[in-house]
Structure formats: C-alpha cells, structure tokens
Structure 1
C-alpha cells in the first residue's frame, strides 16, 4: 500500500488508490455512496440503525488506535435513537428526501441542541441548548448527525475536517468557510466540496457565516447543500452531463507554476472541459480576491477555473466555489476549482457535475495499514 505523500512543513496528505478488499461486504456499502445506501433501505435490505451502527463502529475502531493520534470525532450519544426514528418513518412510507437515515458529521463549531458540545471563538466548549439553522435543516431532511469533528485536532493528523469523510467514518460532512476550510481540505482528500454563495442561513451563537457540504461526489454534495438551504434539488436540471456545453470559462493561469505535476493534471482537466463544449479563455494576470467578481462580470464568464490551492481557496465569501477531484500528482490528490458569480450555485454545480461524469477521477483512498486493520468490520 502506498504511503502518504509528504508536503511542505512535514504535513501529509492521503494517497488515492484502489483500496484492498475489506473483510466484510458491509464495508463496501459504507463507501459506496448515498444512492446505493438509499436503494438498499428502500428495498428493505438495510436500516438506518444498521448503517449508523457500522459507521460508529468505524469511528470507535479508529479512535481505539490511540486517542493521542486520532482524537477528532465526538460521537453523538443520540445517533442510534435518531436512526431508529428514521427507520420507523420509512416503515410508514414517510421518507423526507435523499438524506433520510444517512449519517452526517458536522464541524464542531456548528451548534446542536443535544448532548454534544459546540466550540465557538471561545477556547471553551459548551452545550448550545438549541440547534443552529444548519443542524435544524439537516434534521428536517432526515439526516442522522452522528458526531462532530474537531478541526484543529484533525489537522494534526494530516488534513482538517475532511479527514472524517476521507477515512470512511461518514459518507457526508458539513464544514464552515469561516477560515476557508471547506474546499482546500476537501481537495487534499480527493473529495467534492461546495462553498455556497454568502451564508447558507442565519445561524445562532457561534455558528459559522457559511456552511458547506463535503462528499464523495457532486450529486451527494448537491443533495446535502439542498438540505442545508431547505430547497429541493431538481436532479435532472442541475445534475446535467451537458452542463459545460457553451459555457464561457476563464482559466486562472496565475495559479499555475507551483507544481509541475499539479499543472499537468489541471492541463488534462482543461482538455476535458473543452471536450465537453466549454469555451476557455486564458487570464494571465492574477485576480485580486476582491476583483474576482468584477472579472467574472466584465468578461461574461460563467466560471473561473484553476487548481484548488490556497490562493483560489480564499475567494470572496460571497462567491460560490466548488472543488472536484481532477487526478493525482506525486501520490497526492489534486482538485479542480470552479468559482462562479454570486447566486450562481446551481449553474456551477451543473458544470462541476458534467466535468466529474466525463472524467470520474474519484478513487477510494488507501488508508495506512494500521488504520485499515482497525477499520475491518466483523
């Protein structure tokens, strides 16, 4: 099995590769995605309680390796109770949507009105007493909040909050853009992430200004975003394989040149965009953060694309931003970023989905052997 690729400063990123066959068929389902999980539950071959139990088993197995090394998940003591309630609703043909009964992990600064603690700007963690808007939306969509991840503790492992989804501890995660932490860590883990326009909703207490989804695919991330916004997603309209056709896209060339391997991966991504009918226009000068929106407007761009990195990850908070797996360079995942005009989220999702479906670069990550052994299910 490949090892993590070392980066500047001694940090590491997970290596993407075909994972070895797990010990249990159930492990395949945990990594398969929301759609297969929903199909199994609809057919009566899987329950939310069983699915949640298996994810919780993975979390506990990983934490048992050593709390000092892997301390990042706080388990929701009510998770199985919530899952049972979602199963009862399904039995009476009440299905709230594509997230019904699906486990989700939140970043620990998103307030929940349960027994889990919330970390705000204060160094102390407290019980919020009530759900934030984000948590309330997820519960209304039928999602099972199984825990919270500690951003700073997970960052000490290799990458931030996205590690929970990368390691298969959950299929979906919600992070905040308060410090640009949605797209960059997701890209490092080979995940899709969406930073929506502005703030998803007015939060409470220490809730971050903008919350966005992380998921293995654009479809799942879009479903999660729809739940956060309280809107229904028209799959056939938004998730369109022809979503790039006729789109005018600016290429942020100033973001290239930092890594030859990354440049090569993104170069292939640009070819794929052209093959899908997009018109690409080179932008030689570096757009300043405040000038990205003006650049999109003045050139009539539907989106700006480039490698997901620190520079592009700090796009203005008012603009939607999606990162999609584009391949691997030096053993580390590379993401392609799409940045669009304010409130152009659905159009951006359509473009990202068309690129994803034309390339299918997402791979199940190969975990270090110590973690792989701990995560084997009975």
Structure 2
C-alpha cells in the first residue's frame, strides 16, 4: 500500500543494536521531578500518593480508589495533567498530547460532586481519557488532524463517540498528536509527525518511531499519561501504534463505532477504537464507544450485533478448544521475530488452542493497489463534505493543498503532499475505476478471509502484528520491516486486536487476533487469555531525548 509503504520495501537495519535479542526490559519507574502544579492549587497528600501509584493502574483499580475516597476525579486529573507537563511537554518531550482541555478539571469536579451525591454513571465515571485530534469536540479544543491548515477549527457539535464518553462521565483530558491527516498526506511521511504537533516519539527508545496514525494515543497510554485513549484506524492506525508502544489496541468491525464527527479517510475502512494497557480496559472502553448513530447509517444496521457488555468474554480459558490459523509462510527473515512467533504459538497451545497452518497473505497483499485507489477516492469525497460544514478556514481539499503550498516551510518542511494532490485529481464515487477497485479489495478480501476461516474451521487468524519500531526519519520517511499484519482486517472491515507479545531489540512487538465481522467478543476473550498467560506488557524506561529539529 503506497500511502505509507507499510507493506513494502522496509528494513529493520535501523534497529541493529549489538548484543540485543528477545528480551524483557526491567519494569522501571520513570523519573519523577518536583514541579509546580500549574493546573490548580488543589494538590494534596492523596494526590501525591496517586502520582506514586499511577503507573499501570487500570480503570477498575481507579474506580475502587475513588469509591474508597483515596482518589477523586479531580486529584486524578491533576496528576495526569502534571505528568503530561513533566514527561510529554518537558523531560523526554514525547509530544503525544497536542492540546490539553482547559475544561478538564471542571468536568472532574462535576463528576466528584455527582459521586458525593450518590450518583455514579459507570466504570468511566471520573476517568481521564485522551482522544485523537481528528475527533470533534464541541468545546474550546480544536480539531485539526495535526495540520496547520486546520488551525482554528472548533467543532459546533461533539462527535457521537465523544457524546457517549461525556454521558459515561469520562473526563476529556485533551487531544493527542497524530500522523498529519491520519498519515494520508504523503507516501514518504514519518509516522507521528504533524505540522501542528511536531514529532511524537516512542517512549521505549526516543530515537524511534511511534507508528501511526494514532501515534499520540498509543504513546500516551504506554507512558501512563492517561488512563485510556481513543484512536482511529483506516489501515493499521490503531493496531500499529499498539504493537510498537507495548499496549492493547482494538480496531472494531467497521460500523460498530460511529464515525460522525471524525475527519475521514475512507468510509469503507474508517473506525475509531480503544488503546489501553490491558485487554480488560479495552473491553470496558468499547462498551461506551459502540452504539447506533442516526448520522452514520452503518451503525444503525449494525445495532443488532452489539453486545451489552464485552467484559463478559474475558475468561482465562478463552483459548481452550479454539482453532487459530497462522500463515505458514515465515513472517519476515529476522530470527528473533521467528522465535517470538514460536513462543506465541506455544502460549496458544498451552492454553488449549490448536494452531492451524494456513495460506492467505500473498492473496491479500495483491489487493494493496486497489485499496489505495479506494482510499483516495473516498478521502476526497469525505474530507470535502467534512470541511464544507466545519468552522475552519479550509472549505475543501483544494484549499488545504493551496495553504500547504503557500506555507511550505512550516507546513511541509520534510515531506510533501503528493497523496493529497493525487486524491484531488480524482472524480466522484460513481467513477468506474473506484467501483472496480472497491469490489476488488473490499469484497475480494472478505471472500479470501471467509473461505480460509470456513475451510479450516477457524475461530480466528493470528500472527505477529508487525516488527519493532523503525527509527524516526522525517526526511526520508518510515522504513518498516517485512512483517505487517494490519491489511487483512483493514480492507475487509473486520475486527482486529493487537496485544503485547514480547520484546525484540529492547522494543515492544504485538500479537494479533482477527476474525469475521462483529466477532469482537470472542477476539477479546482470546486476547485476554493470551495476555494473562504471556504477561508481556513492559513499562517503558525513558532514555535521553533526541535533539528536536
């Protein structure tokens, strides 16, 4: 797929580090610095205790502490705000957060008042969450997709998923940086870079790539800058940053989560989804993201497939009796990756699952050109509709292209905008080229996957999500390796979850499970059983920041 070179011409040479192999890093607390809390003057001893105990804390643990009076939503929000200022904006300068919400503390206080009055809204009550900067919020925060061209765009209406989060009592902490235009600007882009937010860095090795486009959401969760986060994916933009940042990422079935109020790429493949540190937190967050939205018709037709509670699938024996298909052709050439895959297969068999050798990846990979064609047609159509109704100065894709050209030094200092320009040259969605490509990649991919699942009686297909992170290279772009398992579920619109699997060269690597439409529940169960046996999540120990250019 040309837009990000995710599936082509990559190399792990940039990761060559003498003496390193598959390893488990020591869980290390990140250095804490004394700093003045600029968010408010309401700090307390319980707040400092929360700061000490914050790393890796789950949603249920946070709820228990708030119920016991050890924490409040306000003190918890203050802690996260302080961490962001110390770790993200100062210290290592991860640059995961593009904008903080000035209303965060007032939301937290309101949730505390409700709790004090005996009302709680559920498991997200008072929980700080970060969301990607291509998702509309009807507040003082902007929605820019990381682009300078979009500065000043403040939405009049919340995205449907944001409304769901507010109703659940979540505290909107801020917005996360991303690969500009969700990595749909250039074929030589550097993931995690945006002209508005700068370069997001991988917290495990700051010279390395956070992957995209939900880079900021993945890094923020990995570095414990929030409890949970929301990203979006068209192809790999949730599961890729989940894999290389050592967290859990779920790309739901297209139609399970509303896309209204999200800057689009492809209505055939776009979806929002959770990024968290545990499979349980992913299931919890998914409960509050799903729902029928009249403004997104596909969610209405999908409503019959919604589960009331996705956490009910989380059983430690969920892999028992399951048939898991894994491509029998070796994934890549790296021996450490091969060993990690064998370890993952052993985990599945020890959990009572059966590994089935299958062949499907070569057939799916041939659909990449058609996928890119579909994306470009749908991007032009979708983004023009979004911009025409938005509150920013840009009213069309052509306006964005012209702005970037007029402000090239700031908007395009490293790579250009050939993907925007080639999309602009295309016609409407009635064009034969588009209809042919859509049938080839979307329908074709489902036929391939459905056949291999049916013939082999599979419960899921699995494999290494991708290799460890490549180096940050803003001049020449990403150089990913020859292992990348995001495409099959992306072009079919099927659900896909990546869960931490292990470390290669001191960097996280994820393991994927995907299957047919609306199989999120069983997939969460299998990922949970894998997670509980493998225990591969490693907290990052920050290294000195690379110079910012």
Smaller-chain TM-score range? 0.7 to 0.9
Question: Could you give the per-residue CA deviations for residues 220-273 of structure 1, whole angstroms, max 9, x where no partner exists?
Answer: 0110111101564263x3111111111111012336233211221121111110
Structure 2 vs 1, CA of residues 199 and 43 (structure 1 numbering), >3 Å: closer, same or farther?
A: same
Structure 2 vs 1, CA of residues 244 and 287 (structure 1 numbering), >3 Å: closer, same or farther?
A: farther
8 Å Cα contact 1:29/1:36 also seen in 2: no
Unaligned runs of 5+ in 2: 1-10, 18-23, 33-47, 181-191, 194-198, 202-208, 265-269, 292-306, 365-444, 467-482
Q: CA deviation at 1:120?
A: 4.9
Q: TM-score if structure 1 supplies the norm length?
A: 0.88
The aligned residue for residue 28 of structure 2 is: 19
Counterpart CA distance in 1 for 2:520 and 2:280 is 13
SS class of match (1:113): coil
The aligned residue for residue 523 of structure 2 is: 348
SS class of match (1:337): strand
The aligned residue for residue 220 of structure 1 is: 281
Matched, 1:124 2:178: no
Matched, 1:51 2:76: yes
Counterpart CA distance in 2 for 1:172 and 1:253 is 35
Give the alignment of 1:330-341 within 5 angstroms.
Answer: 330-341=505-516
Q: Which range is displaced more, 309-318 or 339-348?
A: 309-318
Q: CA deviation at 1:67?
A: 11
Q: CA deviation at 1:141?
A: 1.5
Structure 2 vs 1, CA of residues 33 and 211 (structure 1 numbering), >3 Å: closer, same or farther?
A: same
Q: TM-score if structure 2 supplies the norm length?
A: 0.62
Please tell me whether Structure 1 or Structure 2 has the larger radius of gyration of its CA atoms.
2
Matched, 1:305 2:462: yes
8 Å Cα contact 1:121/1:206 also seen in 2: no
Give the alignment of 1:224-303 within 5 angstroms.
Answer: 224-230=285-291, 232-233=308-309, 235=311, 237-254=312-329, 256-289=331-364, 290=445, 291-303=448-460
SS class of match (1:312): coil
Give the alignment of 1:174-189 within 5 angstroms.
Answer: 174-189=230-245
Tell me which protein shows more strand as a share of its residues. 1
Number of equivalent positions = 363
SS class of match (1:365): coil
The aligned residue for residue 376 of structure 1 is: none
Question: Could you give the per-residue CA deviations for residues 198-224 of structure 1, whole angstroms, max 9, x where no partner exists?
Answer: 133333344453001011100001101
8 Å Cα contact 2:160/2:261 also seen in 1: no
Q: CA deviation at 1:343?
A: 0.8
Unaligned runs of 5+ in 1: 1-5, 372-378
